Each structure stands twice: as C-alpha cells, then as structure tokens.
Amino acid sequence: MVDNGYLIDLLKENEVFLEGDFVLASGKKSNYYVNMKKAITFPLILSEIAKLITEAISNDSIDKVAGPALGAVPIATAVSLESKLPLLMIRKEKKGYGTSKLIEGELNPDDEVIVVEDVTTTGGSLLKAIKAIEDNGGKVKRAFVVVDREEGAKEAFEKEGITLEPLISVNEFFDEE
C-alpha cells in the first residue's frame, strides 16, 4: 500500500474536494465534488500521483500506461514520464478523420497495460477504456484511480475480474479532516 498522506494534503491545500450541491457527469446529484481537473493542472500534484503509481507497479512487468480522455491523459502522461513506460491515450470514440483510431500510441498484441483514471463513481468510462485496450490485443494488468467516490466502481471492476486500486477513497479523505 502506498502512503497517500502527502497527496491528500496537496488536494486539501488546493481545494480539490468541494462541498455543496453538485450535479455529476452521470446526472446524479451529490453534496460534494472532486475537482480533479483542477488538481491535474498542478505539477506537484501530478508528480506525486505519478510517483505513487510508479512505486506501486515497480515490481510488475508492464509495457504501457493508458488513460482515457480527458482527465486521465495528464495523469497517464505523468506516470509515463516517471516510469519511462510508453503512453496510450484512449479516445471516447473513434474520430472521423485522419487515422480514425480509438487508441493513440502503439499498442502491440499482448502488451501488459496499466490504466489510470482521475475519479471513478461507477467505473463505466474506465471499463470502456479497458475494453478498448483488450479488444485491440492488450492485456490490462492493473487499474488505478486517484479518487474513488465509493459508489460502485470497485464492485463493477470485480465483476470484470479486475481490481480497482484507488490512491484515495472519498471516505478516507473526509476521515482525515
């Protein structure tokens, strides 16, 4: 288990966890919001996230690090730089021009891949990215999320035979206050 205390402190200092009335991307209402888009604009936070994930995978045989657009791309990039692993970016959908790729970066058959995400609620967007990797010949070994809202993502991943590894759970953050 990685020591996430410093990351929690950084997120608090930068007011990433907001309390109030919010509507989430899913349309669900919540009394708090995790503003990871703000967090990932700070180099110190990105660096700490990258160090924690790189430390967690240091004994694994991993070929690539992947992140779905948009929020996870800076995280995956930071992990790529820290770990020296090549980067994959997963689009939400194939573009209708140019190469029309769903995955940007070179994914080879049987590449061992870790995926990263900024925040999970139900885990749907990250599971979609994992499916894209697997449908294109990659093997997802581990899935990391910076903040798990603890609203079903871990269970959804377990049903797919994948362990979701949050750096921080929402309850853990609020317990620290």
Q: Which residue positions form the known binding site for 5-phospho-alpha-D-ribose 1-diphosphate?
A: 91-92, 95, 117-125
Vertex 75: Cα angle to 37 and 140 (nearest 5): 125
User: Please, is 153 exposed, middle or buried when counting C-beta atoms within 10 Å of its C-beta (0-12, 13-18, 19+)?
Assistant: buried
Structure tokens at 86: 């090549």
CB 120 within 8 A of CB 153: yes
Structure tokens at 166: 């949050």
Structure tokens at 12: 């608090």
Binding residues, as ranges, are 91-92, 95, 117-125, 149
Q: How many CA atoms lie within 13 A of 148 on its CB side?
A: 24
- The rounded distance, in Å, linking the Cα atoms of 130 and 139 is 9
Binding residues for orotate, as ranges, are 121, 149
